[in-house]
């Protein structure tokens, strides 16, 4: 993840590890700095050539793409993924330019 003063941009890689089909969608991701403010991806996401796009995945398939979030600068963030079949979260530390 790369960050500036008020944005965070990163490439997300989503593998399907289970046996059910999954619909991967940028709306399934949200980001929260330590103060708890949670945001979904910013519309700037769609200005990237290889933005994260919605796609249906079958077992063994994966997808990847860029997502942009408009958030205050912080040392760490929590990235959340929520879908009908799965939920996950991960703490991430961006590299500031």
**Domain residue spans in the chain?**
2-96
| b/e sequence 30-65, b meaning 16+ C-beta within 10 Å | bbbbeeeeebebbeebeeeeebbeeeebeeeeebeb
- Along the chain (97 residues), what's the average pLDDT of each consecutive run of 10 residues? 55 60 88 90 88 86 86 88 84 79
At 37 the pLDDT is 87
At 86 the pLDDT is 78
Distance CA(40)–CA(2), nearest Å, equals: 17
At 59 the pLDDT is 81
The architecture (CATH level 2) of 2-96 comes to: Sandwich (2.60)
pTM to 2 decimals?
A: 0.78
Here the tokens at position 64 are: 């990847």
87: CB partners within 8 A, 6+ apart: 80, 81
């Amino acid at each position: 993840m790369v960050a500036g003063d008020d944005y965070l941009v990163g490439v997300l890689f989503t593998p399907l590890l289970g046996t059910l089909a999954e619909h991967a969608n940028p709306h399934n991701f949200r980001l929260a700095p330590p103060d708890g403010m949670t945001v979904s991806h910013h519309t700037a996401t769609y200005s990237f050539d290889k933005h994260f796009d919605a796609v249906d995945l079958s077992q063994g398939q994966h997808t990847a793409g860029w997502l942009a979030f408009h958030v205050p600068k912080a040392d760490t963030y929590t990235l959340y993924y929520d879908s009908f079949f799965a939920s996950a979260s991960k703490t991430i530390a961006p590299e500031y330019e």
